[in-house]
Amino acid sequence: MLLVTGGAGFIGANFVLDWVAQSDEAIINLDALTYAGNRENLASLEGNEQHNFVHGDIADTALVSALLAQHQPRAIINFAAESHVDRSIHGPEDFIQTNIVGTFKLLEATRAYWGSLKGDAKRNFRFLHVSTDEVYGSLSKDEPAFTETHQYQPNSPYSASKAASDHLVRAYHHTYGMPVLTTNCSNNYGPYHFPEKLIPLMIVNALAGKALPVYGDGQQIRDWLYVKDHCSAIRRVLAAGTVGEVYNVGGWNEKPNLEIVHTVCCILDELRGRADGKSYAEQISYVTDRPGHDRRYAIDASKLERELGWKPAETFETGIRKTVLWYLENQAWVANVLSGNYRDWVAKNYAERQA
Ligand code: NAD
């Protein structure tokens, strides 16, 4: 039995779906269903007894302790987080609450549970914390990619809150001996991605005939990894990672944001051309840059590849095509996600940024 937190969000839902497809082991999925949590992501598991959804907060110690005592999971995988940098700039408090306080409460409940285990159950237990490359800060053009020993230099409230959670996880290993693992992954893309993030936002806006807002000069560089490859890395680290270690996860796909937008437009031009025959790239609109926008992230995933034999299955070219196709084929999912709440947020965010 696994306890997965945040398994109704983008990466968590992909992880749960892949897990159920590949393993008989049951999952308890604890998710607070914030704006980013979506039960529809898990609709295909309706009635499947291998997946047990629990609506709740990782900071609710009584609930988490009861779930641990009842289900006796062999591992916890912590995806639950506030995850959007722009939202963290507008309102950092939720990020402090979930990413720092929530992780702390989850660690405390886990420590009590782990302390109660005996023999193999105690030895084999794992707490896997899912984190981001953004904790390492920004790189200049020529600096080498982030390795696991790169200094933490978070620059946004989001990355600072994730950095704090990573430090707490590390401390619970060094102080209490808890068997933790941490993964720091680059930007994910793929199915079920909430359309506030770059790639789904561009697909959804392009199809709706709206502007494609590009921050600043669009030359901010990110490393991109297809979400299913992130999920396979997490499974690999859970199965074979050394307790107390950190593993960087990335796709060796450094790309400027503007190139990503052009790639999405090209695929859409080919698969669903505009009625007027023009390219979707005509809809690109430059908006004022995000405050404190990190210039470049690049991840060195060679430790994970070398020590645990992990490799991504997708190249950026294959993964991005699958992603665009998924959005074209799942327009009902998109329509449901585009709730009033979300529209208000987009209107507020981009109205402030229009150049
Ligand atoms: P997401 O925002 O899509 O999903 C987060 C999920 O956590 C949602 O289902 C939400 O309802 C749930 N949640 C939020 N607060 C909670 C709480 N207090 N208790 C229980 N559940 C709560 O995020 P994502 O993109 O799927 O990211 C998942 C994890 O992976 C995060 O920790 C994020 O920092 C990390 N990560 C994301 C990326 C990326 O590119 N998206 C890259 C690297 C690491």
Distance CA 10, CA 7 (A): 8
Alpha carbon of residue 289 to chain centroid = 22
In this prediction, residue 339 carries a pLDDT of 72
- At 189, the pLDDT band (50, 70, 90 cuts) reads very high
Catalytic residue among 31, 57, 86, 158: 158
- For the residues 293-317, what does the mean pLDDT come to? 96
Say yes or no to pLDDT of 352 above 70: no
pLDDT of residue 11: 98
Name residue, tokens 């291998």: 50
Active site residue 317: no
> ipTM score of the complex?
0.99
State the catalytic residue, choosing from 57, 133, 229, 294: 133
Buried b (16+ CB within 10 A) or exposed e, 112-145: ebbeeeeeeeeeebbbbbbbbbbbbbbbeeeeeb
pLDDT at 266 over 60: yes
In the CATH scheme, what is the code of domain 2-195+224-256+295-315?
A: 3.40.50.720
pLDDT score, position 355? 38
Residues with CB under 6 A from ligand 1: 5-6, 8-12, 30-34, 36-37, 57-59, 79-81, 83, 98, 102, 130-132, 162, 185, 187-188, 194
